[in-house]
Amino acid sequence: MKFGLFGINFGPCAEADATVRVATAAEAAGIESVWTGEHVVLPDPQVPPSPLPPHVPMLDPAVALAFVAGATSRIRLGTGIIILPQRNPLVLAKELASVDVVSGGRLIVGVGAGYLQPEFEALGFSLADRGARTNEYIEVMRALWTMEKPRFEGRFHSFAGIDAWPRPVQKPHPPIVIGGRTPPAFRRAVRQCNGWYGFAADLEETQRCLAGLAEAARQHERPAALGKLEISITPRGPLDADSAGRFEDLGVDRLIPTVPARSTDDLLRLVETIHALQT
């Protein structure tokens, strides 16, 4: 099982020096990947289900990962996740292709549909059609990354007679991972994505989601080109060798722990914990 680290772009890691210290320590410890979160804006004051107070600093994922790429050479770089229906998919495809290029092909593209009504309203998007936009935008980015002459005809975007270079280093494109714990998210995982990401899930919730993914796989054909669906989890609560083993027994391919970090040292201790779990 692979191990990542979540939180490389916010809290203490919104400071450049801290980002470099944590990312280089993670790479030296043999951790497979570092992951960003995303909220463009947050409700003020914080109200459920908002996950963070509005004053928590959070760097843009593409900017943060491009910066991390320049300070490292091997560790993979994951967006966990970008809220896809809040973005222009062509602009995002350019940004993410650029990260894959400057990192030498280390990007993992994690996306999701989002859930915060105030965030969608502030950005001028409808929460109601976020699922349809997410489905379409994945295909828009794939078209721009892979087609010799990109073209697309959809509900929200249509284009032809255009191109965008450079293309991603990874072929046919960086792996696409979908977040979310709902039947529509499970369908997207099976039909459109290389992986699925469950955030803040305990063993029971992980088992429930894996059952949902299995049911979606029975109902929907998975394109052979997508390969095996890779399962990533950020576990809820403390993680030790016993619980890590239980996640692995369930079929989890990657654990991406996080902690409520108040300082760089909190994250460096998490790096040490992950390193111990790997060995």
State the pLDDT at residue 210. 98
- What pLDDT shows up at residue 279? 84
Cβ-contact 48, 93 below 8 angstroms: no
Q: Which domain holds residue 201?
A: 2-278
Residue by residue, DSSP assigns 63-85 as HHHHHHHHH-SS-EEEES-EEGG
- Our count of domains for the chain comes to 1
Q: Give the model confidence (pLDDT) of 98-139 as tens digits.
A: 999 999 999 999 999 999 999 999 999 999 999 999 999 999
Other Cβ atoms within 10 Å of 240 Cβ, number: 10
DSSP label at 129?
A: T
Distance, CA of 243 to CA of 239 (rounded, Å): 6
Q: Is the pLDDT of residue 238 over 90?
A: no
Looking at the DSSP bridge assignments, the partners of residue 110 are 177
Local confidence band at 241 (pLDDT 50, 70, 90 cut-offs):
very high
Domain of 189: which CATH number?
3.20.20.30
pLDDT (tens digit, 9 = 90+) per residue, 209-225?
Answer: 999 999 999 999 999 99
Give the contacts of 210 (CB within 8 A, at least 6 positions apart).
Answer: 231, 250, 251
**pLDDT tens figures, 140-188:** 999 999 999 999 999 999 999 999 999 999 999 999 999 999 999 999 9
Summarised one tens digit per residue, pLDDT across range 255-278 is 999 999 999 999 999 999 999 999
- Alpha carbon distance 278, 271 (integer Å): 11
Q: What is the DSSP string of 178-225?
A: EE-SSHHHHHHHHHH-SEEEEEEE-HHHHHHHHHHHHHHHHHSPPPGG
Read off the DSSP letter of residue 124.
Answer: T
What is the number of residues in the chain? Answer: 279
Helix (H, G, I), strand (E, B) or coil at 111: strand
Q: What is the pLDDT of residue 237?
A: 86
